[in-house]
Amino acid sequence: MGAELSRHVKRNLVAYIALLPMAIVVIFAYLGTMAWSVRLSFSSSKLLPRYDFVGADQYLTLFDTPRWLTSLGNLAVIAFFFLLICFLLGTLLAIFIDQNVRAESLFRTVFLYPYAMSFVVAGLIWQWILNPDLGIQHTMHGFGFTDFVLDWVVNSEMVLYAVILATVWHGAGLVMALILAGLRGVDTEIWRATRIDGIPAWRVYVSIVLPMLRPMIITSLVLLSISIVKMYDVVVAMTNGGPGTASEVPAKFIMDNLFERANIGLATAASTVMLVTVLLVMAPVIYSQYFRKSGRAS
Amino acid sequence: MMSQAKSANASKRPLTYQEVWGRIGIYTFLGLLALFFLLPLYVMLVTSFKSMDEVRLGLIFSLPQHFSLDAWVKAWTSACTGLDCTGLQVGFGNSVKILVPSVVFSILFGALNGYALSFWKVKGANVLFACLLLGSFVPYQVFIYPLVRFYAQTGIYGSLPAIVITHIIFGMPVMTLLFRNYYSGLPVELFKAARIDGAGFWKIFISIVLPMSVPIAIVAVIMQVTAIWNDFLLGLVFAGRDNLPMTVQLNNIVNTTTGERAYNVNMAATVLTSLVPLTVYLVSGRWFVRGIASGAVKG
């Protein structure tokens, strides 16, 4: 056994050395930092890390902090509407573009270009358009509609919808692009067969075509979910969490506590909550997406 | 003419009234949404060509009456971040300095990892790869603080190497995945023949595998250039005062203005910041979509 193992290692020695950087990155930059963050969440660290043990104190404080609870609630609302609208809008766009329209590539380019821009840009530009003193509301007042109100970015009841608008503008094209690619792979025989049977087109899409595109739909939703959990830039650029704490999100809560409020214990507790949530949701997805068929080398 | 022929081919008969209305409906829907998607770009462009006197009129949807490039010049050369009035050109330079080594090294590591994973037998490699993929789903906030401490202890915190290394680390999962999937589709016989001829790990990589990697390398460049140029969070935390990338500087210029807001300058600055990824997007066309799709499609 031992001799065989050493022969295997010797034959593939260079490959082991070549994968060393990846091993270092995984072990230290990913796993090590995760463990370090989790460890700090059980300490009383404030401005500097401390390695005492205070049990679940930071977690109790965390879930007693209104700003954190607001952040979680906001993220849930944003994620729900963002994913729903992106999915519906992106799917409709893909289906409409797939109807032999002229200037198809122009439409595709227009619907996907926001995805190439940074979230900072998306946040800034929608802040301007929705700004009551500058954008749509101001223009409508200029036309004489003085009762017209569109003050989402400064109204704490509506500010989340402003964020959703900006993120949907940024992300809907992704769903469109992936589903359109899927639609192009659908067998045209399906259309002939269902036309003969007199089945309306929308039924064919809902019951036959979309279920066939499941991999594309899952891929686009996974990509969008990752971006929404990481969401930080767009909020910082658009509202900076305001008015008040009305548009705070977890990623921003953690950053503020790490770098401005000098509360490392609380910040790492919050990041551990995010870590555990993401792992619980993502582990099965990753397993089924990437490892059902394992790589050739294994 | 081409598209007419194509649509006529689909039905092979004159359109019924219902179908005509259907076409009108399709174009109306797509047209209105296209306007919605283009609106922000339109507002940014028209405002950036206006003078401040015209901006004060508050008609952000109207075309500029007097076409002026002043706002662009000001955004590029003299827009202020706090007391520092050197314009976005500083951020642009920093972004380029961050971008070039980050893109080159993250792609090289991706190719090397992908090659070793799909052609060589390394025990435990697939477990490592699974951890790497899982890591790519975890929010950056989990890693940031320990990395800050680590960089601080090695003395590179807030420097160009720190931000480049960070981009390499966080680009590694998707780059490795991209190349691994691509190499899994190459014929394994090629590899076996080269081994029988006595070629070693590096020889096969450099003279056989790399020359075949051009298409996927283009996809990788498109993905990394857009991702790294658009990054805000990592640049903000790791790059340090002297290397802040363009996105961070843009946000500072726009959101720390004191006194009257120069919307024309701000919007010119926003367009300038988007120019690199927009150009990449417009030039790359379908390759851009391929990049998005391969980032998360099963291997």
Q: Which residues of B touch A128 (CB under 8 A)?
A: 43, 47, 60, 263, 266-267
Q: Are residues A69 and A166 in the same domain?
A: yes
Residue B204's domain spans which residues? 89-294
Q: Are residues A139 and A4 in the same domain?
A: no
CB contact under 8 A, A286 and B130: yes
* Residue finishing a domain among B77, B99, B117: B77
Residue numbers of B between 15 and 74 with CB closer than 8 Å to A: 26-27, 29-30, 33-34, 36-41, 43-44, 47, 58-61
Average pLDDT of the segment spanning B251-256: 86
CB-based contact B102:B167 (threshold 8 Å): yes
In chain A, how many domains are there? 2
CB-based contact A127:A237 (threshold 8 Å): yes
In chain B, how many domains are there? 2
Q: Are residues A207 and A265 in the same domain?
A: yes
Q: Which residue of A12, A97, A173 is in closest CB contact with B120?
A: A12
Q: Are residues A72 and A5 in the same domain?
A: no
Residues 6+ apart with CB under 8 A from A79: A225, A228, A229
Identify the burial level of B194 via C-beta atoms within 10 angstroms of its C-beta, where 0-12 means exposed, 13-18 middle and 19 or more buried.
Answer: middle
Q: Are residues B51 and B121 in the same domain?
A: no
Residues 6+ apart with CB under 8 A from B180: A295, B113, B114, B117, B118, B129, B299
What per-residue confidence (pLDDT) applies to A291? Answer: 60
pTM of the model: 0.90
What per-residue confidence (pLDDT) applies to A296? Answer: 44
Retrieve residue B199's tokens.
Answer: 């070629």
Q: Which has more confidence, A121 or A141?
A: A121
Distance separating alpha carbons of residues B88 and B116, to the nearest angstrom: 42
Q: Which residue of B37, B61, B295 is in closest CB contact with A139?
A: B61
Please check whether residue B84 lies inside any domain of the structure. Answer: no
Q: Are residues B147 and B213 in the same domain?
A: yes
Identify the burial level of A182 via C-beta atoms within 10 angstroms of its C-beta, where 0-12 means exposed, 13-18 middle and 19 or more buried.
Answer: buried
Q: Which residues of A touch B247 (CB under 8 A)?
A: 118, 120-121, 233
Please check whether residue B131 lies inside any domain of the structure. Answer: yes
Q: Which residues of A touch B280 (CB under 8 A)?
A: 116
Q: Are residues A12 and A127 in the same domain?
A: no
* Residue finishing a domain among B50, B77, B104: B77
Please check whether residue B8 lies inside any domain of the structure. Answer: no
> Quick one: pLDDT band at residue B295, thresholds 50, 70, 90?
low
* Residue finishing a domain among B30, B51, B77: B77
Q: Are residues A119 and A175 in the same domain?
A: yes
> Quick one: pLDDT band at residue B8, thresholds 50, 70, 90?
very low
Q: Are residues A143 and A80 in the same domain?
A: yes
Q: Are residues B46 and B193 in the same domain?
A: no
Q: Are residues A17 and A156 in the same domain?
A: no
What per-residue confidence (pLDDT) applies to A1? Answer: 57
Please check whether residue A49 lies inside any domain of the structure. Answer: no
Please check whether residue B130 lies inside any domain of the structure. Answer: yes
- Which ipTM value was assigned to this complex? 0.88
Please check whether residue B83 lies inside any domain of the structure. Answer: no
> Quick one: pLDDT band at residue B297, thresholds 50, 70, 90?
very low
The tens digit of pLDDT for each residue in A21-46 reads 999 999 999 999 999 999 999 999 88
Please check whether residue A50 lies inside any domain of the structure. Answer: no
Q: Residue B197: is its pLDDT beyond 60?
A: yes
Please check whether residue B107 lies inside any domain of the structure. Answer: yes
Q: Chain-wide mean pLDDT for chain A?
A: 88
Q: Which residues of A touch B270 (CB under 8 A)?
A: 121, 124-125
Q: Are residues B146 and B60 in the same domain?
A: no
What per-residue confidence (pLDDT) applies to B32? Answer: 95
CB contact under 8 A, B277 and A118: yes
Q: Are residues A29 and A169 in the same domain?
A: no
Q: Are residues B64 and B199 in the same domain?
A: no
Residue A9's domain spans which residues? 1-40
Q: Residue B56: is its pLDDT beyond 60?
A: yes
Q: Are residues B22 and B142 in the same domain?
A: no
Q: Are residues B40 and B131 in the same domain?
A: no
Q: Are residues B68 and B94 in the same domain?
A: no
Please check whether residue B299 lies inside any domain of the structure. Answer: no
